[in-house]
Amino acid sequence: METVVGSLVGVSGHTEDTKYDLIFTTQRVISVLIKHPLDVPYQPRIAEIFIGGKLAHLDEERQREKIAQERRLALSGTLDELAAAHPLNSEIPYDAINSVEVTRGFFRSQLKFNVTESAAAGKRTRFTLRRQQVPEARRLLARVLPSKLKKS
């Protein structure tokens, strides 16, 4: 039976303001979209002319945070339901992963999954980590994919 081993919360996707939660199970890693820039589309307002775009941007950011909190609260149900809950959610079975690496750079750290070509189609395989998440990422990967974890 598949069980959850751990998770990394709030890792970045292809942009810094796209956030995912990575759920590591005994059989796969599931990326669940939490926050996306298009969650609240830009809507020009007359008030921006008078009070400035900065206040409007803060309002949009508050709306995105509210959506992110609602998505996290909705993280219930089966793991299959989580993977299918949003078109940008994805899963990578461990048997499709050739290797995994956590790199720690000066400006950013990354979690990179090297997956087979058939498994990579349409799936996010690279995530940006906060510096504080690197030890937890390595610990989780050593637990679920010890033979595929590259030393760096």
- Rounded to whole angstroms, the Cα distance separating 45 from 48 reads 6
Q: Which CATH number covers residue 25? A: 2.30.29
**With contact defined as beta carbons under 8 Å apart, do 33 and 88 qualify?**
yes
- Please give the model's pTM, rounded to 2 decimal places: 0.79
Taken in order 128, 130, 148, 24, the sign of the CA dihedral is negative
- Rounded to whole angstroms, the Cα distance separating 125 from 39 reads 22
Q: Is 149 among the domain residues?
A: no
* Number of domains composing the chain: 1
Q: What is the pLDDT along the chain (152 residues), one digit of tens a residue?
A: 889 999 999 899 878 888 999 999 999 999 988 888 777 766 656 656 665 666 666 677 787 788 777 777 777 778 888 888 888 888 999 999 999 999 988 788 999 999 987 766 667 789 999 989 999 999 999 999 999 998 76
Domain interval for residue 25: 4-144
- Rounded to whole angstroms, the Cα distance separating 39 from 44 reads 16
* Residue entry with tokens 């149900």: 77
Q: Is 24 among the domain residues?
A: yes
